[in-house]
Structure 1
């Protein structure tokens, strides 16, 4: 898959080295439902403030804000720095989530 939006893209790498690219974090979260998480070596997400720069998705802070569209319509953005996410939240509204909260939301 060709990644178009460098602010919202994500990547999952299995322990066998297979790479899955996603246009948006929400696509990776939906794909995760089909995987045993123990088979995944890396979860990566583009940092919203640094387009094209991948960060450890398990340590990122996520913002869901209807004022920041994402490619697949979930309004979900990842930030490598929690303070940057808080600043963007203050400017745009929404809700902050950590990795475990995000996973729970997509498992329901």
Structure 2
């Protein structure tokens, strides 16, 4: 009976350890997977989660996009911080992106993500730049 309980605990641990979900970013303590810079900017951070549940954190959307260009690992989740809600990860595929030289990002690409297109448009109106969809952003980083 004891080996059966141990086996169940091991299986349960494996299942819980391999869940595919976002993980909170430990700002100020964790480094970017791509450039190793400490992640401190809550408006520009990003995260990838593999199909096996492994999490990769990035200090900027541009680092995440460069990683995707270099890495063929199968990803389950593509997440970016919402510029208007610092620290809140949103689905990168549904976000609207703004490249504006008036809004610096950690790695100098001037790239910000917005969960709402209207918010991105308002920020564009105030700062200038160019709006991109996820598909257009991926083309920029091919």
Q: How many residues align?
A: 106
TM-score normalised by length of structure 2: 0.73
Q: Normalization by structure 1: what TM-score?
A: 0.95
- CA distance in 2: counterparts of 1:59 and 1:35, whole angstroms: 22
Instruction: Pick the structure with more helix per residue.
Output: 2
Task: Specify every segment of 5 or more residues in structure 2 that has no aligned partner in the other structure, as ranges.
Answer: 1-30, 32-37
- Structure with higher Rg: it is 2
**Residue 78 of structure 1 pairs with residue 133 of structure 2:** no
What is the CA deviation profile of residues 43-86 of structure 1, one whole-angstrom value per residue up to 9, with x for unaligned ones? 00000000000100011000000000000000000000000000
RMSD between superposed Cα atoms in Å: 0.9
Structure in which a larger fraction of residues adopt strand: 1
Give 3-state SS (helix, strand or coil) of 1:33's partner.
helix
1:67 aligns with 2:99: no
- Structure 1: stretches of 5+ with no match in the other structure: none
Bigger RCO (CA 8 Å, 6+ sep)? 1
- Which aligned runs of 4 or more in structure 1 are off by greater than 6 angstroms? none
Distance in 2, Cα, partners of 1:28 & 1:96: 18
